[in-house]
Structure 1
Amino acid sequence: MKHREQRRPDVTALDLVGGPERVEIHLHSYDDGWPGSYLEHRSRIRAALTASGVDVEHLLIEHIGSTSVPGLAAKPIIDIVVAVDDITAEEDYLEPLLTAGYELRVREPRHRLVRTPARDVHVHLYDRDDPAVTEYLLLRDHLRTDAGDRALYESTKRALLDKKWDDMNDYADAKSDVILAIKARARAALGR
């Protein structure tokens, strides 16, 4: 990314662009097309950032979330994490992504989220050294290799299908305890 002498202060509150959105959760069996969709958006993100002068050779762009785990049922939303050098330098990454057709959904401390107008791809942006990036990858990699925790996570998601959700964030929060337990086992398996 472009070098900046001094980091700006980050935003201090959640800005949920468009407000809460009622959502119906539908799980789909794993789709072999999800990795291809991720790769298309990875290329789109890289092209947008390259065109704005960002050095993308060392930029982390990873497929995360349930669609990144073969065999796991998921909401058909491709989640991508992008680690940028400075989350406060929105002109370096946010403006190019908006120009590339993504829409801003979340601006909050340490995190931005853009998505496609069809809402089928969510791009999470964090600072390169933000622990959230490591946490996403820890969960993804563990679920890819541990069939028991993959089944537990899927059964947890299925148990939540019968509830009405006023916002996607409420659904995500309802899975928190199970996710924390799975990540604890992932750390133990890695000796951390």
Structure 2
Amino acid sequence: MSKRIIDVVSYDPKWAKQFELESKAIKDVLGNIAVDIHHIGSTAVPGLAAKPIIDILVEVTDINFVDLLTSEFISLGYEAKGEFGISERRFFQKGGNNRTHHIHVFKAGDNNGELHITFRDYLIMYPDIAKEYGELKKQAALECNNDIDRYCSGKNDFIKYHLCGQ
């Protein structure tokens, strides 16, 4: 099995269209339990360098009902990962080591979901900070030796500071 490559690339305006297409398929699976579907993460911020993986946050009325729809997500090409380190989340990934999409499903109003949206909006509102974040991500990708935990660790202090002032 090949190893996942951590690659941060320049912003691609096609990411917005890729989100739109995938969000329609997700809405078809979830139907009325989907409250809202958001494009989050760095691919949602115009001009921001990112790993070319579309992060999608879905707010639902009932997180447990999502478990009954796992086979539908699998039929769309996703792998179900359960909570995957965040309580009360359902996480799905598409593309194996060549990821194309992540879905983060939270009950509407969940604080973890709200933080993702808040950080995205903050970066959109402050392009200079987004640019600084993009440079940090490029450096973290170069230094992490394709270790996703090291890559994420290289960004954590920046994110905490800008979300919480810590």
Fold match by TM threshold 0.5:
yes
What code does the residue aligned with 1:34 have? W
Residue 99 in 1 paired to residue 75 in 2?
yes
The residue number in structure 1 matching 2:143 is 163
TM-score by length of 1: 0.74
For 1:164 and 1:142, how far apart are their aligned partners in 2?
26
Secondary structure of the structure 1 residue equivalent to 2:47: coil
2:91 to 96, 107, 113: 113
Write the letter of the residue equivalent to 1:113: F
Bigger Rg, structure 1 or 2: 1
- Superposition pairs of residues 176-191 of structure 1, within 5 angstroms: 176-184=156-164
Give me the whole-angstrom Cα distance separating, in 2, the residues matched to 1:175 and 1:144.
17
Q: Are the counterparts in 1 of residues 6 and 147 from structure 2 also a CA contact under 8 Å?
A: no
In structure 1, what is the equivalent of residue 129 of structure 2? 149
Mapping of residues 12-161 of structure 1, within 5 Å = 22-50=3-31, 55-56=32-33, 59-108=35-84, 109-117=87-95, 118-161=98-141
* Contact kept? 1:22, 1:168, Cα under 8 Å: no
Alignment gaps of 5+ in structure 2: none
Q: 1:166 Cα deviation (Å)?
A: 5.7
Is contact 1:35–1:68 with CA below 8 Å preserved after alignment?
Answer: yes
CA distance, structure 2, for counterparts of residue 167 and residue 87 of structure 1 = 30
CA distance in 1, matches of 2:160, 2:150: 16
TM-score (norm 2): 0.84
The answer for unaligned runs of 5 or more in structure 1 is 1-20, 186-192
The letter for the 1-side match of 2:122 is H
- What's the CA shift for 1:164? 3.5
Query: 1:145-183 CA deviation, whole Å, 9 max, x = no partner?
Result: 202211221121122122234642442232111011122
Pair 86,169 (structure 1): closer, same or farther in 2 beyond 3 Å: farther
Q: CA RMSD in A?
A: 2.1
Q: Is this contact kept in 1: 2:106–2:113, CA < 8 A?
A: yes
In structure 1, what is the Cα distance between the partners aligned to 2:76 and 2:42? 25
When structure 1 is superposed on structure 2, of 41-50 and 112-121 the one drifting more is: 112-121
> How many equivalent residue pairs?
160
Identity of aligned residues (%): 29
Whichever structure has more helix as a proportion of its residues is 2
